[in-house]
């Protein structure tokens, strides 16, 4: 039996949304049984749509649940992208901000995640992963985190070899009826942690790329119930936190030098990855362009491109980028 909040309804008519795919939903009843669900015509014509973590009222009809009402939300984890609002999930108690201690470690980004979490009404918890990759530096990095949070946010560091400890620490929060969400960059180990809590490898994880970047293995948000009746939402790696759609231009302003450099590239549509005659790569090798400036530039461009898109559009854009990336590589290999 799952512990749903009390609503003024027969509990057999209350469901929780665990997955959203266009107009089709996956819901779970308080008995833990999951079904496919759709909206009734009446609800469909209203503006609001259920999102992951929502409690809804509906009637079970054969194998299909017809949702006719959205029930009040306790918390909403969202961000504003220009005019659009992107929902990460609702009715969340704990936002597990997941950040790896290696290249991913970034206090500015952490601060933006903390703002999102506080705005949502949920409690943030900071999970620092991959401690094994930064041996000896962990304590120093934890102090740096405390300087941002004034010590007011629980922060714990794990590594692959300390999964028992990670499990124990996370279960302190994930009591029956509680809901958490894992957010953070791609490849920081969100799905790895959730698998640990589910005691089985239900969710795909993938080794990160040689350049230390994640591969965007998780592409949809999904709510999973643990054996004890707590819930955890796994989400795809977040590209940006709070960057405005019109910042694509200002990014170019800040890094004007790179634009100037890229005019010298042999190919007009050079991606500056491994194309021959790439002026950006040459400048990097020669030390004329700082590797950090370059990495920040790439990140910000990608973030700015995704800003203003809905979560579905972002996922599509990500997929296209990944496929596009592969094609670029193939073309290069084919060149004599
Ligand atoms: N060295 C090390 N590797 C880890 C640790 N935790 C996870 N990994 C590895 O990091 C890689 C990425 O992990 P995932 O769990 O797929 O990352 P994710 O955050 O879910 O990534 P997306 O789904 O792309 O957002 C996997 O190869 C994991 O085995 C850790 O503590 N130390
Ligand atoms: Mg994942
Ligand atoms: Zn180039």
Residue 17: CATH number of its domain: 2.40.50.140
| Inside any domain, residue 5 | no
Rounded CA separation 45/50 (Å): 13
Centre of ligand 2 from the C-alpha of residue 23, in Å = 23
Tell me how many domains the chain contains. Answer: 3
In this structure, the answer to whether residues 310 and 219 fall within a common structural domain is no
The pick from 133, 160, 185, 205 for probing ligand 1's pocket by mutation, whose C-beta has the most ligand atoms within 8 angstroms, reads 205
* Segment 61-80, tens digit of pLDDT: 878 999 999 999 999 998 87
In this structure, the answer to whether residues 230 and 81 fall within a common structural domain is yes
How high does pLDDT run on average in the chain?
81
Beta-strand (E) ranges in 113-206?
123-129, 154-157, 179-183
Rounded CA separation 153/256 (Å): 38
Rounded CA separation 16/52 (Å): 8
pLDDT at 212 over 70: no
pLDDT at 88: 93
In this structure, the answer to whether residues 66 and 90 fall within a common structural domain is no
Q: Are 76 and 90 in contact (CB under 8 A)?
A: yes
User: What does the pLDDT average to over 300-315?
Assistant: 58
Report which bound ligand comes closest to the CA of 187: 1
Centre of ligand 3 from the C-alpha of residue 310, in Å = 30
280: containing domain: 247-334
What would the two tokens of residue 288 be?
């004329």
Rounded CA separation 130/121 (Å): 28
| Inside any domain, residue 38 | yes
Report which bound ligand comes closest to the CA of 267: 3
Q: Which atom of ligand 1 is nearest to the CA of 161?
A: 31
User: What does the pLDDT average to over 153-159?
Assistant: 91
pLDDT band at 324 (very low <50, low <70, confident <90, very high): very low
């Amino acid at each position: 039996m799952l512990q749903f909040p009390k609503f003024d309804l027969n509990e057999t008519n209350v469901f929780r949304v665990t997955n959203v795919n266009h107009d089709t939903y996956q819901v779970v009843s308080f008995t833990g049984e999951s079904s496919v669900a759709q909206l009734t015509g009446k609800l469909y014509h209203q503006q609001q749509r259920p999102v992951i973590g929502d409690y809804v009222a509906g009637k079970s009809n054969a194998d299909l649940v017809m949702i006719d009402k959205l029930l009040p939300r306790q918390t909403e984890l969202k961000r504003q992208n220009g005019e659009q609002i992107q929902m990460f999930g609702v009715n969340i108690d704990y936002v597990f901000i997941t950040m790896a201690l290696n290249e991913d470690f970034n206090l500015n980004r952490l601060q933006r995640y903390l703002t999102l979490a506080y705005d949502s009404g949920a409690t943030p918890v900071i999970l620092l992963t991959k401690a094994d990759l930064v041996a000896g530096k962990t304590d120093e990095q934890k102090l740096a985190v405390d300087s941002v949070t004034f010590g007011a946010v629980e922060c714990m560091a794990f590594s692959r070899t300390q999964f028992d400890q990670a499990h124990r620490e996370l279960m302190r929060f994930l009591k029956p009826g509680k809901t958490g969400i894992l957010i953070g960059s791609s490849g920081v180990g969100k799905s790895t942690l959730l698998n640990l809590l589910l005691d089985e490898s239900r969710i795909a994880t993938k080794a990160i790329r040689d350049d230390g970047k994640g591969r965007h293995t998780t592409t949809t948000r999904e709510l999973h119930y643990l054996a004890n009746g707590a819930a955890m939402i796994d989400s795809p790696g977040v590209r940006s936190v709070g960057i405005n759609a019109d910042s694509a231009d200002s990014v170019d302003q800040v890094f004007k030098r790179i634009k100037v450099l890229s005019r010298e590239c042999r190919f007009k549509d050079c991606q500056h990855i491994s194309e021959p005659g790439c002026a950006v790569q040459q400048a990097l090798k020669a030390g004329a362009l700082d590797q950090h400036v370059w990495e920040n530039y790439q990140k910000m461009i990608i973030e700015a491109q995704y800003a203003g898109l809905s979560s579905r559009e972002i996922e599509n854009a990500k997929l296209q980028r990944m496929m596009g990336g592969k094609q670029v590589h193939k073309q290069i290999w084919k060149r004599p």
